[in-house]
């Protein structure tokens, strides 16, 4: 077997740790492997009586026993082969399921920054393609390696029992086989990791094309995309071809090494037969054992290559499993029950930067319980970042954010997010039923509660008109619904959660006037009796807010109510005037 590095060994041992829950099946499979190895080693023992007693001595009485022995031997071997094959397949599939569960659980624990720097295609590739590579490595290693080594050991015993001198010559080539196995294994692992990375890039591209197919069609960018995707497809193909070149070269080299050993045995063994030192039957029995032993030696080469592919994939998987979220739930401070007016919120000299690039600077304002605070300003001013900080998608670089006077970082994440409902401009719905999408706001909600939330969100009427009503499957991200309908489902989801703190991030910016009117009415009902932070592009929707905070270039430049800000003739007044002029021009 090839020499593995410490890193390889550590990764593989960690991978094999996933086998522990299936120890019983592994023991049964191992016993079956030993039976397979034993029966394979016993085959050469039948060659001598066949040659010497039946073909040379013409002893007819040996025909029946030898024939029955052959049938019995291969029947036992076949049964054992089935048991070990089935058991290891079950173990392999269970391990990969466990790995996928573990990887997905870890993904759910990661903070938003992980997903901003990792493409969707890369995530899908690791959960699907990489884990499949690991499965092959686990099953082939536990079955192939153990079975081949056991078979080699059994046949080696047979060889030394029959003729230790010939046996010594036969196995002398084994150390020679280690070097090519090691070289080929390293190359295969390198190409395998490269392929996995390229598959992640290709998956990301395909995901973008499929999700943006309308843009692709309208702007007729099929040609450039065909070229871009084609390059990635060719890159994957070229890497696989290089990998196959190494794999293909390994087989004849291993064949040649085996041929050297077989040739040496044939030359020396033939001389012993000619000299009369051994019988023809003894030689062919020995030669059969040698021939049978070199087959698992060659198979170890393929097994080792698959192990290297699996180690490369496992390394990528463990990189993600080991990655610690930057936003951690380490706090344990209890939170008193919310009052009827929601919860208070305060920013104290908050600063934040993305990758050392300042985004927010000295943000300081308070949101009294039960009030509505609007955040307005030009695009890129930092409004959505403030909303992300409230939900602890990120933590401030400096300063602190208080909920009812308690630093968010001292609260358990689950407890904090139980206090928050959010309606975003980019509505996220899931490919399941209408009822299930609303129920995500309160898992276990009754149908009556779901319907009540839909009524409050002005969604009940259109839901009733769907083919299966609340049981209608709405497709990926609600593709079968209009923008206004999707937004009202999101509002219903927020209503049924009944959280004391509400974040609205430009929830009506992408809607037409009629849809906006219906959605805004639903939002007004949603905000009643809650603390609300509203990010708005259309200033007409927040003119009645209790407080308007104007942000520009990551800083608060104005604070007040609508009339006060207009009177100051500052940034808010200019933004308001621009929208008024825009509406008048539209009229």
Half-sphere exposure of 587 (CA within 13 A, CB side): 6
Considering only the C-alpha atoms of the chain, give the largest distance between any 2 of them, rounded to a whole number of Å.
Answer: 120
Measured between alpha carbons, how far is 383 from 386 in angstroms, rounded to an integer?
Answer: 5
Please list, in sequence order, all residues whose beta carbon lies within 8 angstroms of the beta carbon of residue 568, skipping any fewer than 6 positions away: 558, 560
Tens-digit pLDDT string for the chain (587 aa): 444 555 667 887 888 788 888 888 888 888 888 888 888 878 777 777 777 777 777 777 777 887 888 888 889 989 998 888 888 878 888 888 888 888 888 888 888 888 888 877 778 878 887 887 787 777 666 666 777 777 777 777 877 877 777 777 767 666 666 666 667 767 776 777 788 778 778 877 777 777 677 667 766 778 888 888 888 888 888 887 887 777 777 667 766 776 676 777 777 777 777 777 777 777 777 777 777 777 777 777 677 777 777 787 888 888 888 888 888 877 778 888 877 678 999 999 999 998 778 999 999 999 999 899 999 999 889 998 999 999 999 999 999 999 999 999 999 988 998 999 988 878 888 888 999 999 999 999 999 999 999 988 888 999 999 999 999 998 887 888 888 888 889 889 988 998 899 998 877 665 666 666 777 777 777 788 889 999 988 888 888 899 999 999 999 999 999 999 999 999 999 999 888 766 555 54
Residue 563 token pair: 């009339």
Q: Which fold has domain 7-322?
A: ABC transporter transmembrane region fold (1.20.1560)
Measured between alpha carbons, how far is 170 from 91 in angstroms, rounded to an integer?
Answer: 36
Neighbours of 172 (CB within 10 A): 12
Tokens 């970082």, located at residue: 409
Sign of dihedral through CA atoms 97, 99, 102, 105? negative
Measured between alpha carbons, how far is 127 from 19 in angstroms, rounded to an integer?
Answer: 19
User: Which residues is 350 bridged to in the sheet?
Assistant: 363
Measured between alpha carbons, how far is 294 from 288 in angstroms, rounded to an integer?
Answer: 10
Q: What single string gives the DSSP state of each residue in 148-216?
A: HHHHHHHHHHHHHHH-HHHHHHHHTTHHHHHHHHHHHHHHHHHHHHHHHHHHHHHHHHHHHHHHTHHHH
User: Which residues is 347 bridged to in the sheet?
Assistant: 365, 401
| CATH 3.40.50.300 fits domain 341-419+539-587 | yes
- Rounded to the nearest angstrom, the gap between the alpha carbon of residue 80 and the centroid of all alpha carbons in its chain is 35
pTM: 0.71
User: DSSP letter at 342?
Assistant: B
In the chain, domain spans:
7-322, 341-419+539-587
Is residue 123 within 8 A of residue 323, CB to CB? The reply is no
Q: For residue 403, give the 3-state DSSP assignment.
A: strand
Q: For residue 557, give the 3-state DSSP assignment.
A: strand
What pLDDT is stored for residue 512 in this prediction?
Answer: 61
Dihedrals phi, psi of 246, to nearest 5 degrees: -65, -45
């Amino acid at each position: 077997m090839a020499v593995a590095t410490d890193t390889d060994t550590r990764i593989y041992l960690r991978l094999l740790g996933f086998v522990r829950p299936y120890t019983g099946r592994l023991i049964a499979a191992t016993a079956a492997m030993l039976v397979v190895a034993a029966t394979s080693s016993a085959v050469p023992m039948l060659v001598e009586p066949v040659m010497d007693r039946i073909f040379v001595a013409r002893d007819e009485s040996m025909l029946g026993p030898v024939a029955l022995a052959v049938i019995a031997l291969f029947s036992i071997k076949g049964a054992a082969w089935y048991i070990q094959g089935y058991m290891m397949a079950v173990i392999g599939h269970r391990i990969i399921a466990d790995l996928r569960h573990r990887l997905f659980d870890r993904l759910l624990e990661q903070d938003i920054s992980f997903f901003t720097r990792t493409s969707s295609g890369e995530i899908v590739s690791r959960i699907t393609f990489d884990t499949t590579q690991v499965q092959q490595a686990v099953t082939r290693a536990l079955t192939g390696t153990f079975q081949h080594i056991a078979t080699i050991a059994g046949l080696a015993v047979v060889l030394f029992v029959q003729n230790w001198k010939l046996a010594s010559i036969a196995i002398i080539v084994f150390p020679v086989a280690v070097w090519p196995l090691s070289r080929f294994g390293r190359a295969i692992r390198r190409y395998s990791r490269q392929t996995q990375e390229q598959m992640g890039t290709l998956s990301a591209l395909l995901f973008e094309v499929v999700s943006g197919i309308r843009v692709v069609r309208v702007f007729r960018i099929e040609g450039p995309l065909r070229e871009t995707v084609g390059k990635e497809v060719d890159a994957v193909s070229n890497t696989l071809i290089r990998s196959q070149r190494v794999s293909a070269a390994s087989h004849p080299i291993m064949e040649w090494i085996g041929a050297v050993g077989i040739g040496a045995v044939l030359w020396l063994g033939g001389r012993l037969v000619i000299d009369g030192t051994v019988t023809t039957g003894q030689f062919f029995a020995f030669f059969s054992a040698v021939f049978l032993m070199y087959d698992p030696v060659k198979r170890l080469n393929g097994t080792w290559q698959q192990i290297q592919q699996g180690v490369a994939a496992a390394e990528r998987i463990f990189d993600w499993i080991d990655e610690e979220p930057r936003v951690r739930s380490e706090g344990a401070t209890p939170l008193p029950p919310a009052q009827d007016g929601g919860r208070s919120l305060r920013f104290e000299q908050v600063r934040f930067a993305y990758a050392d690039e300042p985004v927010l600077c000295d943000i300081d304002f308070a949101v009294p319980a039960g009030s509505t605070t609007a955040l307005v300003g030009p695009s890129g001013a930092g409004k959505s970042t403030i909303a992300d900080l409230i939900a602890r998608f990120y933590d401030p670089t400096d300063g602190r954010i208080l909920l009812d006077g308690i630093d968010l970082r001292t609260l358990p994440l689950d407890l904090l997010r139980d206090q928050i409902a959010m309606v975003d401009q980019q509505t996220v719905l899931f490919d399941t039923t209408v009822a299930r999408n609303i129920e995500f706001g309160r898992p276990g909600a009754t149908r009556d509660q779901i319907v009540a939330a839909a009524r409050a969100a002005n969604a009940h009427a259109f839901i009733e008109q769907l083919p299966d009503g609340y049981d209608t499957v709405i497709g990926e991200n609600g593709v079968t619904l209009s923008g206004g309908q999707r937004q009202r489902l999101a509002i219903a989801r927020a209503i049924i959660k009944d959280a004391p703190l509400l974040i609205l991030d430009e929830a009506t910016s992408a809607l037409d006037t009629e849809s906006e009117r219906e959605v805004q009415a639903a939002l007004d009902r949603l905000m009643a009796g809650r603390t609300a932070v509203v990010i708005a592009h259309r200033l007409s929707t927040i003119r009645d807010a209790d407080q308007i905070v104007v942000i520009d270039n990551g800083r608060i430049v104005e604070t007040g109510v609508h009339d006060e800000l207009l009177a100051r003739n500052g940034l808010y007044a200019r933004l308001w005037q621009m929208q008024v002029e825009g509406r008048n021009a539209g009229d």
